[in-house]
Structure formats: C-alpha cells, structure tokens
Structure 1
Amino acid sequence: MEPEVVRKLTVGQVTTSSISLMWAEPEGESSFYRYEITVTAVADDQSTEGQSTTVSKYTKPEVVRKLTVGQVTTSSISLMWAEPEGESSFYRVQWTNGRTNRNISVTETNINITELTAGVQYNFTVIAVAGDNTTESAMAETFHFTKPQVVRNLSVLNATTSSMFLTWTEPEGQSSFYKVQWTHGEIHGTVNVKQTNIDITNLTAGVQYEITVTAVAGDQSTEGQSTTVSQFTKPEVVRKLTVGQVTTSSISLMWAEPEGESSFYRVQWTNGGTNRNISVTETNKNITELTAGVQYNFTVIAVAGDNTTESAMAETFHFTKPQVVRNLSVLNATTSSMFLTWTEPEGQRSLFTCE
C-alpha cells in the first residue's frame, strides 16, 4: 500500500553549504524518508512510494570578496568587489553616515554612490542575495570619508618682515582640521590647526611665500582640494642712510641694503611744499634740481618683488647750500668802519656771516 504524503515539510537552519529540513510523519505507516529537497514517504517494501512533497530553498550566498573603495570626491565614493564563491542573483549595497540610511540593488560588482556630504564618514555594506530575492549572505563592510570641500575666502590680513597672519572661512560640509603649508624656494613649512586662522612666524623679510590651506577629514588623511595665496613679507628698513655731497642744487644720498631681500628702492623728498619720488635699484642717488638754501626731508623705502609691499621708512634731512650773494659793494668807508650792501642770493637763506 502506498504511504501517504509527509506533512508540514519545512526548512530549518540554512548555511552557505547546508540546509536542514523537518516534516511530520505521514498518516499511516512508512519505513524511512529519502533526504532530498523533495521528500517522499516509502512503504515497508522499501519501494512503494507515496506522493512527493517538495520545498524550494536557496542556500545562503557566500560573502562578496575584496570589497574596496575606488575614487573618492567631495560628493561620491565608488565601491568595487569580487563575486562570491558559489552563486548569487544580485547585490544589496547599503550606506549610512550615522544619521541617514540608504540602499540600492545592483547586478554589477561595482557602484559609484553619489549625492554624499563632503568630509563625512560613510559606512558601506555589500550583501549578496540569492535567486529568491530574500536569502542573503553575510555582510562585507568598509568605511571611508568623502573629501572635504575647499576652504573659502583665504586671505592675508597682515604681513610683517617676519610673519603673516592668514584667515579663511570653513568649507561647506564637514572637516576635522586644516593643513597649512608655506614654501619659498627650498624652504618649506607645515602645521595643522583646528581654527580658521594662523600667524606664521620666523619668515624671511622681503620674500614671496606660497601658502596653501587644505581641509582634512576625520580619518586624518582624506584631504580636500587646496586653496593657495601668494604674499611677500615686508622688506626690512634700509640701513645707514647718510648724506654725501651737497651743492646749491643737489644732495647725494647713500645707504646699505636691508637684511633679507628687496627688489628696488623708492626715494622720496620734499621741501615742505612739493613732493617728488623716484625708484632706483642702486643703493645711492644724487638728487638734483633742488632749490638753494632749502631744507629737504628724504625717505628711502625698500620695495618687495610685487612692487607693492614696502618696508618702513629710513629718514634724514639736509639743507642745500645757499647761493652766493650778489652785487656786494662798499658804500662808505671810514678810518674804523665800512658800510656794505649786497643783493639777496637766489633761493633761500637764514642769515649772513661776515669775515
């Protein structure tokens, strides 16, 4: 007599390499069960079979292999992985920044995840899914930060002969700290700061520095795009400014180069009424076309290579020689005196001396 069909065939624990089945005995009698996905009750003659009961169940896919992060931008991260051993139907990719959770299903072994926030850590999981669209592998996991955005409004607020004070606006999105780098030829400097400003010291006077500021993410290594500003330190003041030869219409100046570097010198002079200036590359200048007997104030300023950044002023003053008096003559002479007269010299004078 043919056994009845087994009852309540169900699947228990499922692993990547096994499936456990359980069922209730059929009504009537049977000798044993053939252990397959299809289960059939067999009569005592060990050949007469009842009606088969079948259940379909997928084994769990193996975990995907070699999950890695590829290109990273301020708003996207690309993932790639190798297929798991065995078979699977598609992959469920999930990501979270700790506040929001997203997921997408793909059949390829890579994905570029977009619309992310700059400078934020994202945790990623990739799960292989079997053909029933339900049975899932264990998770492959990784995490990475998006690149921070570029800092904004980088500017030098103050430059001295040995320092520069910089300030900037924090980037959009998130970042952990800022890497500040400066260079002049073979000279390099780097420092990390949390605040959005820095006073860079121990610089050389009159020198151009390239300064870059880069936002860095919380992993201490993922960097945003750098922003750069170029600025000269102020030259030092010229040394030993002195007056040389003086005539009725000219005064010669000389000085020593300042410490550090400079490009040229701006020489200015005034007699209190008119102001003149000239640029020279030498460390001396003979200033001509002056008025006799007049006090002139002189300043010499060292100028950096940007033709704008100036040193403090070195100052001195001196009179030109007065011109000779004109028409000197004796109007009356006695045994003990002489009465002299003359015409004022051209230019200016303060008083006359007689010898």
Structure 2
Amino acid sequence: MNIDNITTNSVFLSWTHPAGNRSSYGIEVLGIPSKNLTVYSESVLVDQLVPGNYYTFSIFAIAGNGLSGLTTVNSTFTVPDVIDIMNIDNITTNSVFLSWTHPAGNRSSYGIEVLGIPSKNLTVYSESVLVDELVPGNYYTFSISAIAGNGLTGKTTVTSTFTVPDFIGNMSIDNITISSVILSWPIPAGNRSSYGLEVLGIPSKNLTVYSESVLVDELVPGNYYTFNIFAIAGNGLSGLPTVTSTFTVPDVIDIMNIDNITTNSVFLSWPIPAGNRSSYGIEVLGIPSKNLTVYSESVLVDELVPGNYYTFSIFAVAGNGFSGLPKVNSTFTGE
C-alpha cells in the first residue's frame, strides 16, 4: 500500500490489484478521528484528518460474501498546519525573542531557520524561543514550520527584523569655534545604516549622518550644547545614545572704549558680543600687570602708576572657560 500526496488533512492511498477476485476493499483508519471505509477501486483519498496526527491504515480485500483477506498496514503523520502569526519582541543588540500561535492539530516540534550572519537552524519544543548570539545592526529572516513526528514539515511562516545597533563607545569634540564643532566617533560593533545626532541647545537640531564624523554648524557663540549620537539600523531601530557636551567659543568683542583716564585708573567699557558668555577676562599689561574677571560690560581698572603705558586685552569667557579672541586697546595714565 502506497501513501502519497500527504497534506495537512488528507492522504492518498493506492495499492496493487491482488491475485484473484474481490468485490471491494475495506480500509480501517486508526487515529483521531478513526474511520472505516469501503472502496471499489485500488486507490482512495482519505480526508477530514487532523494536521500533524499519526494515522495507521489497514487495508484488506473483501469477497462477495463479506469474507476478508489478510490486512496490509501502513502508517504516516499528516503534514502539520501552518503557523498563522510569528511575533518578534524584545529585540536587543544580539538577540530577538520569537513567539507564535499554536497551529491547528498536532506537531512534535518546530523548526526555525535563521538567515543572516550568522545563520543557524534551531529545533524548539514550545511556542517561543530566544534567538541569541546575533550581530548588532544585522538583518535577519526567521522561517518557522511545525514538524510532525516523522519529520514532515508544514508550510513556513516568515518574518524579518534588524537587531538593535550597538552602543557608540566614545564621541570626541574637536575644532570648537564660535559657531561650530566637529564630532567624531569610532565605528560601533556590528552594522548600522546611519547615525542619528540630536543637538540640544539654542538652536536645537536633529541630523542624520552616514560617516563617523560631522561638522555641526550654525551654532550660537558661547552657548552650551549637548550632543546625543546613536547608530540606526536599516529599519530605523536605534541603539543607545552616547552623550557629550561643550560650550562654543564666545564671540569677539568688537570695540573696547577707554574713558575717564586719571593718574592711577582708567574706565573700560564694551558692547555685549553676539551670543552668550559667563564672564569677561581682562589682561592688563604694564607696571603693574594684572588679570581681572568681570561680569558686566564695564570695569574701573585702578591702582595704576601715573604716566605709565598700559595695554588692555579683553575677551569673553564661556561657562567651561573657553575664551574668545581678545580685543586690544592701549593708553597712558595721566601724570
């Protein structure tokens, strides 16, 4: 007795014509459901079976008076049913968690084929599995099928995802100017399609970058900025951000005025430079020399020597101590 065309709910049986005569054939189907059939040819489609179930088929020839010959026995599993839905949850840099619905009928296990780098094949005995040891930011396709006790496999259900890109270990800030900074970072482990850069400050901005460095410009002098950078996978999944901060360099002071010159003092004033600053530094060159920190746009420099020559250099200072270019002016004190 041959078994062909096995599906989820049917099998096709065929057999050779026995020697002599018979009026019919009797077929006993043992399994769930069981059934008894009477057939008048040498083949039959046995249907309305349960996916993934084990069935035994006993066939015998029947004479006109109902006498039965010896039985021939064969058995098989039906094909397991397809898995309707496979969910991907808890995606990390090196693992994904797969879960799926219990298919109709029975199965002894599930086969999972993981396509990507690395590829792997898994056999699972429940309706969920953690697939680990993956590469950050890589694209993976997961094919799952139910497997019957004899190895017959059902149709596959397929889904895909990227893993989360890896963390960027370190971000450097270089070439800080009054309106720009250059950011650079190492290539993270695994893969990524781009980088996302969030600039927090005034102005704030969001950038997408395709290399491991970027010039962030159109910033405000002397402002404080925080830079968040993260790798992005091909489907938009983002890795954890790496964060660093800095002030831009304060702008130059355009004009410094010297007024009210006396024998031992001068009065300096200047306009507010563009952008921001936390203070001003003043370097007084002469005898005596001195260094001052000022928090407004004017200062009385006293305790000078009558008739001496003094040079005054003033520069804006950012919150982290960055200094802008100095503005220089000179004068003699009165005698």
Instruction: Pick the TM interval, shorter chain.
Output: 0.7 to 0.9
Task: Kindly state the Cα deviation for residue 107 of structure 1 after the two structures are TM-superposed.
Answer: 1.6
Task: Kindly state the Cα deviation for residue 218 of structure 1 after the two structures are TM-superposed.
Answer: 2.1
Give the equivalent residue in structure 1 for 2:69: 50
Give the equivalent residue in structure 2 for 1:310: 323
Bigger CA drift: 15-24 or 30-39? Answer: 30-39
TM, length-normalised to structure 1: 0.83
Q: 2:6 is matched by which residue type in structure 1? A: V
Give the equivalent residue in structure 1 for 2:15: 23
Give the equivalent residue in structure 1 for 2:160: 143
**Which of 225, 229, 245 pairs up with 2:240?**
225
Q: How many residues align?
A: 307
**Which of 254, 266, 270 pairs up with 2:285?**
270
Task: Kindly state the Cα deviation for residue 211 of structure 1 after the two structures are TM-superposed.
Answer: 1.0
Give the equivalent residue in structure 2 for 1:215: 231
| Separation of aligned partners in 1, 2:26 and 2:306 | 129
| Separation of aligned partners in 1, 2:207 and 2:273 | 29
Give the equivalent residue in structure 2 for 1:60: 79
Q: Alpha-carbon deviations, 1:56-98, whole Å to 9, x = none?
A: 111111111220110111110111110111221221112020x
Q: 1:217 is matched by which residue type in structure 2? A: A
Give the equivalent residue in structure 2 for 1:89: 108
**Which of 170, 174, 194 pairs up with 2:210?**
194
| Separation of aligned partners in 1, 2:173 and 2:216 | 10
| Separation of aligned partners in 2, 1:149 and 1:250 | 61
Task: Confirm or deny that 1:256 pairs with 2:271.
Answer: yes
Q: Percent identity?
A: 29
**Which of 306, 310, 316 pairs up with 1:296?**
310
Q: 1:231 is matched by which residue type in structure 2? A: T
Give the equivalent residue in structure 2 for 1:337: none
Q: Alpha-carbon deviations, 1:108-156, whole Å to 9, x = none?
A: 1111111101110011011111133x01110011111111112233111
Distance 1:274 1:60, change over 3 A: farther
| Separation of aligned partners in 1, 2:288 and 2:3 | 105
Bigger CA drift: 246-255 or 112-121? Answer: 246-255
In our comparison, the structure showing a higher alpha carbon Rg is: 1
| Separation of aligned partners in 1, 2:288 and 2:18 | 122
| Separation of aligned partners in 2, 1:188 and 1:100 | 40
| Separation of aligned partners in 1, 2:87 and 2:153 | 20
| Separation of aligned partners in 2, 1:251 and 1:69 | 74
Q: Secondary structure at the match of 1:34?
A: strand
TM, length-normalised to structure 2: 0.88
| Separation of aligned partners in 2, 1:249 and 1:274 | 11
What is the root-mean-square deviation of aligned Cα atoms in Å?
1.5
**Which of 106, 117, 141 pairs up with 1:123?**
141
| Separation of aligned partners in 2, 1:57 and 1:100 | 35
Give the equivalent residue in structure 1 for 2:36: none
Q: Structure 1, unaligned stretches of length 5 or more? A: 1-8, 323-355
